[in-house]
Amino acid sequence: MKITFLGTSHGVPEKNRRCSCTMIQVGSNIYFVDMGINALEELKNYDLDSKDVKAVFITHNHCDHTGGLYPFLAGLNCWWHRFSNTAIYLPAPKDELINAMGQMKMATGGTDPNFKNEFIEIEAGQIYDDGLLKVTAFRTKHCEVSYAFLFEAEGKRAFLSGDMSYKGPKDDFPVEILEKENDLLVLESAHFDAPDLLEVFDGKENNIKRIRFTHYTNQRIPLIEEFIKAYKGNDVSLVTDGVSINL
């Protein structure tokens, strides 16, 4: 399982950091978590084929996580190939976002507001299993409907937090994932102070192989560095756009 961070900024872009988008590769299959950028452009930059994109998982419907979804779908349905088998997993209410994208399609020269993709509304629990990758969704408290995801493939586990509660991770982090060994935790740090995670992870460091911080503001970098100094585990860092990890 290979994870590439295509967009690591917070609600707005920073210099050399764009809004949220993460690409996961398992074998030849490609998956995306959030789409705050035009991911089709990135596929071309990495010499990858859009036909290999099996699914897109959206943590929540805020624009910095969904702003690139319409261009992605428009490209799949109109240009790269007329039939798209990419499944799109959306939080409720999914129809509002789908209808809005259909209106955008019609307003920009389209003749049909519909898309050929399958849209699935996310609920907590296992939501996906294609034989290579299994995905489990955990409800979070960032907004009215938001999720974190656990990805399991090739004997590895990677957890992506999405955006969490402004009240901090103690109120929101799904601690049940720490009952097993995790190869990677990808954590946001735009909505709370990173040192607040120390209490959540205390005594569970042996089940956390790596931590990568993303979706952070420049102003919060000192707080992430404070967490790194105090954390009892190993292999913690911030990621920027273009960084990849092979698990």
pLDDT in tens, 80-123: 556 678 999 999 999 999 999 999 999 988 888 988 899 999 99
pLDDT digits (tens, 9 = 90+) for 208-247: 999 999 999 999 999 999 999 999 999 999 999 999 999 9
For residue 59, give the nearest of 131, 167, 135 by alpha carbon.
135
What pLDDT sits at residue 49? 92
What pLDDT sits at residue 168? 87
Distance (Å, whole) CA 247 – CA 229: 24
Instruction: Report CA-CA distances (Å) from 46 to 40, 82, 99, 132.
Output: 10, 22, 31, 21
Distance (Å, whole) CA 50 – CA 35: 14
pLDDT digits (tens, 9 = 90+) for 16-57: 999 999 999 999 999 999 999 999 999 999 999 999 999 999
Q: Is the pTM of this model over 0.75?
A: yes
pLDDT digits (tens, 9 = 90+) for 141-163: 998 999 999 999 999 999 999 99
Distance (Å, whole) CA 89 – CA 168: 26
Q: Mean per-residue pLDDT for 125-149?
A: 97
Please tell me which residue, 112 or 174, carries the higher pLDDT value. 174
What pLDDT sits at residue 80? 55
Q: Domains in the chain and their CATH numbers?
A: 2-246 (3.60.15.10)
Q: Is 2 helix (H, G, I), strand (E, B) or coil?
A: strand
What pLDDT sits at residue 191? 93
Q: Mean per-residue pLDDT for 168-181?
A: 94
Which long-range contacts (C-beta less than 8 Å, at least 24 apart) are formed by 102-105? 104/70, 105/70, 105/74
